Amino acid sequence: MKSLIKTFFIFIIIISTFISCEDKIVNEPEPSPTQSGVTAKLSDIQIKVFNVSCATSGCHGGSNVAANLNLTSGNSYNQLVNVNSNENPSLKRVVPGSSGQSLLIRKLEGNGTSLMPPSGKLKQEIIDSIKAWIDRGALNN
């Protein structure tokens, strides 16, 4: 009988430990796609935006990249995040946590600088997803 009571108390202690730890686990929700279908994740931005609109031959892809900025898969993160711009070295291309200070957003919006891509402004929903990625810390995700 004592062994059964002891087992019961051990079981109660184990269950209460799990319950008390449960509220300390933080689950960051997956970014949801905008109307354009682009989530605030670099991997999605890479596939649906950079690969299609930026990392093309003669622009920011291939061997001859404009502004020494290679936005091809596997290169874009290291070329963007916390990297000073060649055009304006006092500005960073992407400032993690601050889309407002990121030259990339200024370029995409044509805000005081040349508009990128040169073929025309991206949909605002796409720009908003890139802003959200930057504002969430510009993770290499």
Q: Which pLDDT does position 28 carry in this prediction?
A: 41
pLDDT tens for 21-62 read: 433 333 344 455 555 689 999 999 999 999 999 998 889 997
Choose among 107, 104, 129: nearest CA to 38: 129
Between CA 20 and CA 92 the distance in angstroms is: 43
**Contact yes or no for 64/56 (Cβ under 8 A):** no
Give me the pLDDT at residue 57, please.
81
Q: Hey, what amino acid is at 65? A: V
Contact call for residues 54 and 61 (beta carbons, < 8 A): yes
The pLDDT, as a whole number, for residue 24 is 34
Q: What is the pLDDT, as a whole number, of residue 8?
A: 55
pLDDT at 121: 96
**pLDDT score, position 26:** 35
| pTM for the model | 0.75
Average pLDDT score over residue span 108-124? 94
Give the domain ranges of the chain. 34-135
**What's the whole-number average pLDDT of the chain?**
83
The three-class DSSP label of residue 123 is coil
Number of Cβ within 10 Å of residue 61's Cβ equals 21
Distances (CA, A) of 127 to 18, 34, 131: 42, 10, 6
- Structure confidence by residue, pLDDT tens digits, 52-101: 999 988 899 977 788 889 999 999 999 999 999 998 999 999 999 999 99
